[in-house]
Amino acid sequence: MKKNIFFCVIWFVNMQTYSSDLSVGGSSDVRVRMGENITLNCSMRNRDEVAWYRLRSEELVLLISAEKDKTGRRLLTTYNQNRTRMKMTADSWVTRVSLTISGVTESDSGLYFYGIKSDTPEMHFNKPIRLEIEGNRFQFFSSLGVR
């Protein structure tokens, strides 16, 4: 009996650690209003390729990917899920790279994270950013059918 309780405690402590890793544990939260633009930043120092992903409703989506050109001074977009809404920009040495998503809607909320890599096949992932979209009062009332 005592042994069982001991194992329960261990299990509980492990679950606590595990669930905090899964949820916010280390992610940063960003809140934007519906319709606004959001800029997410990353560092590509000593890396050649970058890819941004969004996790939402247990679905992982590649949003955009890019790589440095031969000179290392330009960033070439290799994939863009929606060119009308997303754009990547870089500083002159392509160390600081920004992804701008314009006119965010509710469906843009989720966990965002980027992977960066060099010649080696493995990707390195950063801490996720939790993007929350705030509706406004008008949208709240119109969703209720009130005008």
Q: Residues in the site for ligand NAG, rule: CB under 6 A?
A: 30, 37, 39-41, 82, 84-85, 98, 102
Q: Closest CB to ligand NAG belongs to which residue?
A: 102
Residues 71, 60: contact at Cβ < 8 Å? no
Shorter beta-carbon distance to ligand NAG: residue 28 or 71: 28
> How far are the Cα atoms of 18, 42, 128 from residue 24, in angstroms, in the given order?
11, 19, 9
Smallest distance from ligand NAG to CB 67, Å = 21
Smallest distance from ligand NAG to CB 80, Å = 10
Smallest distance from ligand NAG to CB 69, Å = 23
Please give the DSSP secondary-structure letter assigned to residue 134: E
Convert 119-132 to b/e letters by CB count within 10 Å (16 or more is b). eeeeeeeeebbbbe
Shorter beta-carbon distance to ligand NAG: residue 51 or 104: 104
Residues 51, 123: contact at Cβ < 8 Å? yes
Shorter beta-carbon distance to ligand NAG: residue 42 or 51: 42
